[in-house]
Structure 1
Amino acid sequence: MQTQLAHQRVEPGPVVTPDVVDHESALRLLDRAIVKLDAGIISTLMEEAHELLAATRFDGARGELRNAEDDLMDGDIQGAIHEAGKSFESVAKGLLDVTDKAGGDLVQLLSAAGYFDALPLEARSAFTKQVMHAVPGMRNKLGGHGQGREELVLPRAYGKLAVHLAAAVNLFLLDLAVERGDAQRESETPVEHGTDVPDIGGFGAPPFADDDIPF
């Protein structure tokens, strides 16, 4: 679905401040304009990826994506790239029900399974090579194999790119899989705010009655 992005310029008059825009609304104040964003833009990429991985029970891929984030925070750039690549491969293997393929082979199998059939034939080859090979390519060249005699020292930006690419590609594949019926959401409960997390009185929580005040 194409993302809808509409701008409504603020006319001179009452001052529009961030608190004017309801936080529960899809409207946001950006650069002095009220902008309508869909839910996919409002939610962060990483949160959405983790939620869908959890809801479709791709727990191994979710754990590897979390490991990639942890490695990135710890300054292990190659480790982050490696784990990001593993997360992508786990999603692809799960969707294809294979265990003995990796990297580019998985991309080709996804294509053969019809995952990219919405694209015109002439665009499909470029898409698989330039987009779908990005994460396994980074793992193979920068994170997953020997680096020769000289130590490869990468800026943090490369690790961040790999983590975000893996999250985006995982989300893309699982969205398609749910639409195709190859995967099913088992829960719509947000990952970080499940039913086992005690409610501490945030938005939407019922106020304490006088007799229930815990002090």
Structure 2
Amino acid sequence: MAIYELYSTRNKAKYPEVYQYTEVSDKLRTQVAQILVAAIGTRSNCGYQTPSDEAYAVIFNVLKREYGESSLGGCYMGSASWLEKYLVDHTPTEEFIDVLELSCRLIDKHVRQNWANFTCNDNVSQKPDDALEELNERMKRAGFGYEYTDGVIVRIDEQYIHAEVVKPALLILQDFKGAQEEFLSAHEHYRHGNFEECITDCCKSFESLMKSICHERGWIDDREHDQLPAAKLIQKCIENELVPLYMQNQFASFRQLLESGVPTIRNKSGGHGAGKEVRNIPQGLVSYTLHLTATNIVFLGKCYHETK
């Protein structure tokens, strides 16, 4: 359903000035639970298992297995009432996001594909697109800095950058599945504070995009696809005029940033092999790298489409 602008909300700022990522308000928990149940549905008075029964069972069983628990929130099976109670009463923030992501993915894929069955048997009152849009809007208004996009919950650091850079990058990467998975993996690592892995996946995503473009255009063969480093791929893009010549230094600098942004010390100790100690990487550097990766993906993607 559409968000109704009450008198009490019309006279306030719609969005907070900054996002936070650690606390989920009681109000947002309740709103999220209501939207998810409206989109998945609740069973009618019938003597057989309905699509919503199966959907709640999937969410419940995945979480139960991954958490290594025999019950969740005092329940031994999934249902609409379990989901509402679990979201509102029991979950720490990270588990709340787990439930939210699983539920959104199920709505986005399964409910959408089986819409007729859900509407016939389960009193569904909110369409998938409407529900997902409202969930994202509710989180923004609550100042909870996450958003569901392309099957995953991603962290939003700055709304303008997210809307103008990250989202277009994800759109471009829909045609390049390997690079898309690595870019989404970078977001996932960033969300969990795995900063070294985030920067590594940024590098992989950018390289994968260049490899895919160069291979599709016939600029590299299968052997080169597996072996060429980023510097050589950049050169291929420039030589074949995918990227204007004056951008060569900028792209080389980008690669240098990614490599130098993984500050590790490898301690080698004789016959005991190599050890590895990871330094603390500043979050600001990682956020900058993530957004810079998105910016370069958008640029390269536009060059690709404009030279088709």
Q: Specify if TM > 0.5.
A: yes
What is the match of residue 61 of structure 1? 179
Helix, strand or coil for the counterpart of 1:147? strand
Greater length-normalized contact order (CA 8 Å, ≥ 6 residues apart): 1
Aligned runs of 1:1-215 on 2, under 5 Å?
43-54=163-174, 57-97=175-215, 98=220, 99=225, 100-117=227-244, 124=246, 127-129=247-249, 131-143=250-262, 147-149=265-267, 151-181=278-308
Higher helix share: 2
1:152-195 CA-partner distances (Å, limit 9, x unpaired): 221111111111111111110110110100xxxxxxxxxxxxxx
1:136, CA displacement in angstroms?
2.3
- What's the TM-score, normalizing by structure 1? 0.55
Contact 2:161 / 2:291 at 8 angstroms: preserved in 1?
Answer: no
1:94, CA displacement in angstroms?
0.8
Report the Cα distance in structure 1 between the residues aligned to 2:230 and 2:189, rounded to whole angstroms: 21
Report the Cα distance in structure 2 between the residues aligned to 1:91 and 1:109, rounded to whole angstroms: 13
| Pair 137,41 (structure 1): closer, same or farther in 2 beyond 3 Å | closer
Report the Cα distance in structure 2 between the residues aligned to 1:176 and 1:153, rounded to whole angstroms: 36
| Pair 165,178 (structure 1): closer, same or farther in 2 beyond 3 Å | same
| Pair 42,92 (structure 1): closer, same or farther in 2 beyond 3 Å | closer
Greater Rg by CA: 2
Structure 2 gap ranges (5+): 1-11, 15-159, 268-276
1:146, CA displacement in angstroms?
5.3
Report the Cα distance in structure 1 between the residues aligned to 2:253 and 2:186, rounded to whole angstroms: 16
1:18, CA displacement in angstroms?
8.6
1:35-88 CA-partner distances (Å, limit 9, x unpaired): xxxxx989431111101211xx10111111111111111111111110000000
- What's the TM-score, normalizing by structure 2? 0.40
Q: CA RMSD in A?
A: 2.6
The one-letter amino acid paired with 2:172 is: L
- State percent identity of aligned pairs: 20
